[in-house]
Amino acid sequence: MNTLRHLLHDLDRGHTSAAHLTEATLQAIHAQNPHLNAYITVDDEGARAQALQADQDRANGQAGPLCGVPIAVKDIILTRGLRTTAASRMLANFIPPYDATVVERLRQAGAVIIGKASCDAFAMGSSNEHSAFGPVQNPAAPGCIPGGSSGGSAAAVAAHLCAAALGTDTGGSIRQPASHCGIVGLKPTYGRVSRFGVVAFASSLDQVGPMARTTWDAARLLEVIAGFDPRDSTSSNQPTEPWAQRVAQTTPDDLRGRRVGVPRQYFTDGIQPEVEAAVRAAIDHLQRAGAHIIDIDLPHTPHAVAAYYLLCTAEASSNLARYDGMRYGHRADDADDLHDTYARSRAQGFGAEVKRRIILGTYALSTGYYDAYYLRAQKVRTLIRQDFERAFQQVDLIATPTAPTTAFPFGAHQTDPLSMYLSDIFTISCNLAGLPGLSLPCGQDKQARPIGLQLLAPWFHEGDLLAAAAAYEQLRDA
Residues tagged active-site: 74, 149, 173
Reduced to 3 states (helix: H, G, I; strand: E, B; else coil), residue 42 is strand
- In a 13 Å sphere around the CA of 128, the CA atoms on its Cβ side amount to 40
The DSSP element (H or E) to which 466 belongs, if any, is helix 462-477
Q: What backbone phi and psi angles, to 5 degrees, belong to 443?
A: 155, -170
Query: What are the DSSP calls for 55-121, one per residue?
Result: HHHHHTT---TTTT-EEEEETTB-BTTB---TTSSTTTT---SS--HHHHHHHHTT-EEEEEE--SG
CA distance 169 to 354: 17
Cα distances (Å, whole numbers) of residue 393 to 194, 269, 290, 374, 401: 28, 28, 20, 29, 22
C-alpha–C-alpha distance, residues 257 and 186, integer Å: 24
Q: Do the beta carbons of residue 32 and residue 161 sit within 8 Å? A: yes
Distance of CA 219 to the CA centre of its chain: 14
Residue 246: closest CA among 30, 478, 464, 40: 464
Q: Please tell me the distance from the alpha carbon of residue 348 to that of residue 331, in angstroms, as a whole number.
A: 9
What Cα–Cα distance (Å) separates residue 51 from each residue in 58, 63, 107, 109, 223?
Answer: 10, 12, 11, 12, 21
Distance from the Cα of residue 437 to its chain's centroid:
10
| Distance (Å, whole) CA 437 – CA 434 | 9
**CA distances for 436 relative to 30, 160, 192, 432, 461, angstroms:** 35, 26, 9, 11, 7
* Residue 375, helix vs strand vs coil: helix
User: In the sheet that 164-168 helps form, which strands lie side by side, from edge to edge?
Assistant: 39-42, 112-117, 70-74, 164-168, 208-212, 184-187, 437-444, 450-456, 397-401, 259-263, 292-296
| CA gap 150, 132 in Å, rounded | 14
Residues 73/40, Cβ–Cβ less than 8 Å: no
Q: What is the CB neighbour count within 10 angstroms for residue 53?
A: 17
